[in-house]
Structure 1
Amino acid sequence: MAGINTELVKKLRQAILFQGIRTIPELSRLLSASFPTVKKHLEILIAHGEVEEQISELSNGGRPAKQYQYRAEHAQGLALYLELDAVGFRIFDAVGTSLTSGTEPVGTNQPHVPALIRLITRQLEQNPRIRFLSVGVAASVENGQVFFAPDYPSLQQVDLKGTLESQFGLPVVVENDMNAAVIGFHEGHQRRQQSLIYLYLGKNGPGAGILINGQLVRGSSHFAGEISVVPQYDKKTFGQAIAKRQTALDTQSIDAISRLTTTFAATLNPHLLIFNGNEVAADDLEQIRIKTAEYITEAHIPLLIRSNWEADYLNGLTRIGLHLSTEQPVRGESK
């Protein structure tokens, strides 16, 4: 489409959707673009049904200011996450409001990709306004390709992004589960510019999502957060040290988590260490704090808190999906 600055379109979408910037003067200042240029691109988004114009109330007797907001009904996104025995999903609108969600079982030893494709196919048939997909996996991912999935052998070395985009012709983003969870927590709790680590112990094997000063850490080879392989004892990794725990954390698990907490405190010094509330009780947090204080000065121990991991995970996948949607060409514009 002639005359469109695609980078400006992306930034306009993100400013309106994520930052709540709603007037042309504010958008112009934020994006360092002229008033006419911003107005022109907003008119394009309005014409394509993405943005709507509103008139604010009169202020101090002056001319009412025009404001712009995203149209929730413009499009829908589909977030999906893979568990060992199930695929969970959420359908959300163009501003991130959840419309419906659920889970579907995956049979024992059944490959996950065919099950995922069947679920997506059914959801697209029922919801033709879905225009982008965000997928979470308990594995290391680089550019949509799964390369470290010890608990999901059928996903190993699978180009999941390419497979799904080829199958459905929709933009797809694939993300590690803990990266998505820490993003979801960060956005939901407005922990701007803080350093957060989200620790998961559960059935997918342990993992961590890391934000430093508000920025997601993937690492040089997209392996950051794979804490299961961190060596802790003479012949045990962190994953091995907690593998035999029961519903409640035992003494060895408390010690292993405390050693890992010390490692985080001494290397990344985060503000918060977040645990899945279904895995760790409030009393466990106190025991972890006390044990950690045997390894490092208490002043350096991050605040230990519990959160709803599934909600954070889905909220993160929703946010990632919305970000993907802002990067797409205006409909009718060639890529």
Structure 2
Amino acid sequence: MSEIRLTSQHTRSEVIRCLRSALLEHGSATKVELSHNLQISFPTISKFLKQMENRGEVTTVGLDESSGGRRAIRYTYQPNYMLGLAIFLEKGETNYTVFNCLGEVIEQGYTHSMLEEGVSQLTTFIESKRNAYPNMNAVAIGVPGAVNNGTIFHIPGYENYHNLDLKKHIEEQLAIPTVVENDMNAAAIGYMAQREMGERISLFYLYLGKNGPGAGIIINGEIVRGKTYFSGEVSFVPQYDSRNLLEALANGNGGETKSTHMAEKIDAISRLVATITSILNPHYIIFCDDEIDTVMLNQIAERSTNYVPREHLPELAVSNLKHDYLNGLQRLGLSVLISQQIDDQHKEYR
């Protein structure tokens, strides 16, 4: 969570967001430190810290050593003051975590798949978690489809969620701030965040998937969404005269043997690696460790050199999709949490 400086007129929500970010990032701080680092006046810092302390959002952790005057009070954020829920929908099951403002997991588990059911099942599940954790103030939902500002507009095989504004639905039904993200975008965010990669890093995170391949694309630290939020739908990438990537991975050339089909699969993925290398030239291409093993990774790397010079190939690596996915959703949920506004009567408002 990077520190944000405010150098112009700042709103109440900006001040609160920056105070939370700074305290969570540094663990503790004095009013003087916060005023200096955030470039917000000392009286403003004092006013907001007092409000946050009164509602139990921050607490004091002692006094600093004296430098000749009054000893400064040191403040810290209470990470369990607000909690978030990260939940991702898959064909086989629904995974979730409840986490605090430090990203620490309070509860983690899974339940049955809700993709083939109506959205009411998902709403009921989220409501049950909010009842168990009344201070749950953010929900981050991941879906295997293309998302435009909370609306799922491309999710093959799951008509109940097609053209559904899931963000609006959850917020209207449960009054919990919600963010909805494509699964591979969330995984790419989680992969970068977990490894604390720099802002200039570019990567391509590929999932072959149960419903066809998809990818999360990050360029210079930013998710690429595209004009119509269709970026990453790589199943449509044409690879052969009559087959796109989805068709090539599904049945190859109609090869009769398992070894022949595997060779065709390696070739199809290698062609995609070459395409991405030529167009994006990323630092990394990430595969899912339950889909690509070390032997296949080496075969893909070698085969890719048939199509693009070896020296331009990115680093090919494997990672745990579930871990990265949940971590990415938590990061998105944390962003929502630290932006929460709370009135003087301790009630949330948006």
| TM-score normalized with structure 1 length | 0.90
User: Which runs of structure 1 show a deviation greater than 6 angstroms over 4 or more consecutive aligned residues?
Assistant: 59-63, 245-249
Q: Tell me, in whole angstroms, the C-alpha distance in 1 between the residues paired with 2:294 and 2:302.
A: 13
- Share of identical aligned residues, percent? 39
Structure 1 residues 257 and 103: alpha-carbon distance in aligned structure 2, compared to 1, 3 A threshold: same
Q: Tell me, in whole angstroms, the C-alpha distance in 2 between the residues paired with 1:56 and 1:176.
A: 46
Q: How does 1:4-43 map to 2 (within 5 A)?
A: 5-18=12-25, 22-43=29-50
Give, in angstroms, the shift of residue 185 of structure 1.
0.9
In structure 2, which of residues 136, 160, 168 is the aligned counterpart of residue 162 of structure 1?
168
Counterpart amino acid of residue 298 in structure 1: R
Q: Matched residue of 1:250: which SS?
A: helix
Counterpart amino acid of residue 186 in structure 2: A
Q: Paired residue for 1:275? A: 287
In structure 2, which of residues 313, 318, 321 is the aligned counterpart of residue 309 of structure 1?
321
Q: Tell me, in whole angstroms, the C-alpha distance in 1 between the residues paired with 2:306 and 2:72.
A: 59
Structure 1 residues 86 and 60: alpha-carbon distance in aligned structure 2, compared to 1, 3 A threshold: same
Q: Tell me, in whole angstroms, the C-alpha distance in 2 between the residues paired with 1:147 and 1:295.
A: 34
1:328 equivalenced with 2:335 (yes/no): no
Q: Tell me, in whole angstroms, the C-alpha distance in 2 between the residues paired with 1:78 and 1:249.
A: 41
CA contact (8 A) 1:184 1:316 kept: yes
More deviation, 7-16/50-59? 50-59
Q: Tell me, in whole angstroms, the C-alpha distance in 2 between the residues paired with 1:61 and 1:253.
A: 71
Q: Matched residue of 1:279: which SS?
A: coil
Aligned positions, number: 332
Q: How does 1:38-49 map to 2 (within 5 A)?
A: 38-49=45-56
Give, in angstroms, the shift of residue 313 of structure 1.
0.5
In structure 2, which of residues 137, 148, 165 is the aligned counterpart of residue 142 of structure 1?
148
Structure 1 residues 283 and 111: alpha-carbon distance in aligned structure 2, compared to 1, 3 A threshold: same
Q: Paired residue for 1:77? A: 84
Q: Tell me, in whole angstroms, the C-alpha distance in 1 between the residues paired with 2:237 and 2:265.
A: 14
**Deviation readout 1:149-202 (Å, 9 max, x if unpaired):** 113222110111111111111111111111111111111111122112211112
Give, in angstroms, the shift of residue 239 of structure 1.
1.5
Counterpart amino acid of residue 195 in structure 2: H
Q: How does 1:119-130 map to 2 (within 5 A)?
A: 119-130=125-136
Q: Matched residue of 1:192: which SS?
A: coil
Counterpart amino acid of residue 68 in structure 1: Y
Structure 1 residues 34 and 139: alpha-carbon distance in aligned structure 2, compared to 1, 3 A threshold: same
In structure 2, which of residues 165, 185, 190 is the aligned counterpart of residue 184 of structure 1?
190
Counterpart amino acid of residue 142 in structure 1: N
Q: Mark the runs of 5 or more structure 1 residues left unpaired by the alignment.
A: none
| TM-score normalized with structure 2 length | 0.86
Q: Tell me, in whole angstroms, the C-alpha distance in 1 between the residues paired with 2:279 and 2:318.
A: 22
Q: Matched residue of 2:52: which SS?
A: helix
Structure 1 residues 64 and 261: alpha-carbon distance in aligned structure 2, compared to 1, 3 A threshold: farther
Q: Paired residue for 1:217? A: 224
Q: How does 1:44-55 map to 2 (within 5 A)?
A: 44-55=51-62
Structure 1 residues 112 and 229: alpha-carbon distance in aligned structure 2, compared to 1, 3 A threshold: farther
Give, in angstroms, the shift of residue 319 of structure 1.
0.9
